[in-house]
Structure 1
Amino acid sequence: MFPGATASRADAAYVVVGAPLDISTTFRPGTRFGPERIRRFARPFDDYDRRTDLRFSDCSVHDYGDVRAWDDAAEYLTWLSGELRAVVREGAVPLLLGGEHTVTAAGVEAVAPDVFVCLDAHLDLREAYDGNAYSHATVTRRVLEGRRDNGVDDADDDSAANGADAGVEADVGEVVVLGARTGSPEEWERAERDDVTVVAPEDVADFDLEAHLDGRSAYLSVDVDAADPGFAPGTGTPEPFGLEPREMRDVVRTVAPHAEGFDVVEVNDRDDGQAASLAAKLCREFVFSHTDG
C-alpha cells in the first residue's frame, strides 16, 4: 500500500493504481518493479506537508493495488483504461504508477483531458518502434491520435464488461512535452505542428505553464527520465542534461490544480531507490497541490 493511502474506495478522492507493464523497454528492463518500488520508497516521508498544512493520510487516498500486466500491450491498455475509467466515474482522480510509459495512453483515455502535459526526456512521437505501435517510444503519438487506427477497434466481452471502450479517442487538443532533449528526425518534424509544444530543459523554469493551460483540463504524466540521470538513474533509457528534481516539482505543483489524472512511469530496479524516491515524492506533491488548489 502507498503510505498514507488509508481511505476506502467508496470515500476516495484519489485512487492509486499500479500498472507494472514491462514489455517494450529498449535498454534496461525492470519497470515491472516500478509500482512496488515507488510505494516502498515513499515509506520514509513524513505524513505532514508544511507548505500546504495538509497530512497525506487526510487527503482521502485509496490504493487499489496493481492491475496485473500481460504480454499483449493493446489488450492490456484497453483493460487498464476500463479500470481507470471506473475511478473517474466514481468521482476520484486516478494516480497511475508505472510500469513503462505505454500505460499513460490508458490514463489519458480514461480522463479525456483538453491538454496532455508530460515531463519526459524523449518526444515519444514515433508512429511505431521496431514495428510496434504500442511502445514506450510511441505513447505521445498514441495520445495525440488515439488508438482506433492501431488495431484496437472493438472491445472483447471481458473488456467491455470491465467498462473499457477499445480505441476511444481521447480528444486531446494539445500535447506539452517539458524537458525533451532527444528524438528522431521524424519526431521533431511531428513536434513542429500546432498541437505539440516542446520545451527544452533549459527553458522549463521560465515557461509560463499556468498561462499556457489557460483554464483547460489536463492530464499530467511524469516520465522519471525527464530528470537528469544523476538524480534518477533507475530508469530504462537515461538521457543526460536533464531537469533537476525541484524543476519537476514546480511543474507538478503548477499543473496539479488543472489536472484530472496523473501518472509517474519508467521507474525500474537498477539503482538504490533514487528514481523511486523522486517518483513517490512527486506523486505526493501532486496530491497536496491538487487538494490545496
Structure 2
Amino acid sequence: MTARPLPRTDRRFTLLGAPYDGAATLGWPGSRYAPARIRAAMAWILQRREDGQIYCLDHATLHPFPEDLLVDGGDVHTVGHDLDATLDAARAGVADTLAAGRTPVLLGGDDCLLYPAARGLAESTPGTVAVIHLDAHLDLLDENEQQGRYSHSSGMRRASELANVDVSASVQLASRHFNFPSSLAFREKAGLRNIPAAEIHRRGTEAVAADVLAHVAAADRVLLAFDIDCIDPAHAPGAGAHEPGGLTSHQALDLVQRLAPYTDAMVLTEVNPLTDANDRTANLAAYLVAHFVVHGGLAAPSHEGAPA
C-alpha cells in the first residue's frame, strides 16, 4: 500500500477572511473583495443541510454536517497600508484557530497569505510541516525592487524558510508556462518537487493525489495552499492572473476531495470578484471549501469510487 499521512478525523473547521490585496503588485488587484463573495456563495451550499447531514451526489453518500462543523470566525485584522501587520494578523488567526482545536480555512486576499498560513501552522506544531501548493506560478521569488520580499510572488519562498517547514516533503501542483530561472535554481537546490498542470492532465487526479500523499507523508502536518489560478481561466475567470492550460473545475474539486482528509489547514487565495463573471469563480471557491470540510471532516460511510 502506498504510504500516506494518517487521515485527520472528527474535526471542526473555522472560516477566516483576510480581505487584503496590498501585495498584489502584478496582475489585477481586487481579491480583497473575495471573502465576502465566497461567503455569499457558501450560503447557497449550506442551505442543503438537513438534520445534521448533507448528501454528496458525487459519491452517493450521506456526510455528517452538524451546526458546528463549519463556523465563521470573521475576518482577521487587515491593515490596508501595512503588509507586516496584516501578515501577522493572518498568522495569529490561523494559530489561534488551531489552539482552539479547530481546523482553519483562510480566505484571501492575495497569495502573500500563503506565508502567514504556513507560519501559523508551523508555529503550532513541534513537528514538521509540508505544503501542498496548487498554483499556476512558483511563487519562489526572493526579492526585487517592485515587489519586495513578501508579495504574492514570494509566499512559497518565505514559507520554505520557516524552521520546521520541510521543503523536501512539500510539492507544487498545476504550474505552467514560464517562470524565473532563479526560481528553478532555488527549487532544485531546496529539493522542492513540482508536478506541472500538463502532467496532471496526462496522469489524472487519482494517480497524482496518491503520489502527493506519499510524498508529504514524511512531514507531521500538511498545509493545503490553493491559489485559484491553478484552475484554467475558462473555469475560473475571476483570478489575479490568467494562465491557460490549467486544471478543470472537476480536476480541482477531485484533488481537494482526495487531499482534504490528510491536511491540517487550508488557505485559498487570488479569487478576484472584479474580473469574475457572474460570481462563477467565487462559487467554485465556495465549493472547494465545502468539499474540503465535508470530505476532510467527520467520517462518512465508505463507498466504491470514493477518493482514496
Q: What TM-score, normalized to structure 2?
A: 0.79
Matched, 1:256 2:272: no
Q: Is 1:210 matched up with 2:213? A: yes
8 Å contact kept, 2:109–2:270: yes
Cα distance in 2 for partners of 1:172, 1:73 equals 25
Select 1:273's aligned residue among 264, 275, 279: 279
Matched, 1:190 2:189: no
1:139 equivalent in alignment to 2:155: yes
Q: Provide the secondary structure at the position in 1 that maps to 2:297.
A: helix
Residue identity opposite 2:292 in structure 1: F
For residues 166 and 35 of structure 2, the distance between their equivalents in structure 1, rounded to whole angstroms, comes to 26
Q: Give structure 1 stretches of 5+ with no counterpart.
A: 1-11, 147-168
Distance 1:284 1:78, change over 3 A: same
How far apart, CA to CA, are the structure 2 residues paired with 1:62 and 1:44?
A: 15
Q: CA deviation at 1:215?
A: 6.2
| Maintained 8 Å contact 2:78/2:89 | no
1:254, distance to aligned residue in structure 2 (A): 2.3
Tell me the number of residue pairs that the alignment of Structure 1 and Structure 2 aligns. Answer: 261
2:111 to 94, 101, 109: 101
User: Tell me, what secondary structure is at the counterpart of 2:237?
Assistant: coil
Pairwise CA distance, 1:292:
4.2
Equivalent-residue separation in structure 2 for 1:292 and 1:203 (angstroms): 32
Q: How many Å separate the matches in 2 of 1:35 and 1:201?
A: 26
1: CA distance between counterparts of 2:172 and 2:85?
26
Q: Secondary structure at the match of 1:190?
A: helix
User: What is residue 289 of structure 1 aligned with on the other side?
Assistant: 295
Mind listing any 5+ residue stretches in structure 2 that lack a counterpart? 1-10, 123-127, 300-308
CA distance in structure 2 between the partners assigned to 1:128 and 1:194 by the alignment: 17
The answer to whether residue 23 in structure 2 is matched with residue 17 in structure 1 is: no
2:92 to 82, 85, 99: 82
**Aligned AA for 1:241?**
G
Q: Kindly state the Cα deviation for residue 59 of structure 1 after the two structures are TM-superposed.
A: 5.6
Q: Aligned partners of 1:99 and 1:78: how far apart in 2?
A: 14
Instruction: Give me the whole-angstrom Cα distance separating, in 2, the residues matched to 1:177 and 1:105.
Output: 14
Give the 5 Å matches for 1:4-83: 13-25=12-24, 26-45=26-45, 46-47=48-49, 48-50=54-56, 51=59, 52-58=61-67, 60-70=69-79, 71-83=81-93
Match of 2:243 among 234, 239, 245: 239
The 2-side partners of 1:197 and 1:215 are apart by: 13
Name the CA shift for 1:292/1:55 in 2 (closer, same or farther; >3 Å): closer
**Percent sequence identity over aligned pairs:** 29
Which aligned runs of 4 or more in structure 1 are off by greater than 6 angstroms? none
Distance 1:103 1:21 in 2: 9
* 1:195 maps to amino acid: G
Instruction: Give CA-to-partner distance per residue, 1:22-47, whole Å, 9 cap, x none.
Output: 11221211010010011112232233
Return the letter of the residue paired with 1:178.
L
Cα deviation code 1:175-218 (max 9, x no counterpart): 31100113211112222235311111122224222322336321
CA RMSD across the alignment:
2.0
- Stretch of structure 1 that moved more, 67-76 or 237-246: 67-76
Q: Structure 1 15/252 Cα, relative in aligned 2: closer, same or farther at 3 Å?
A: same
Who is 1:160 aligned against? none
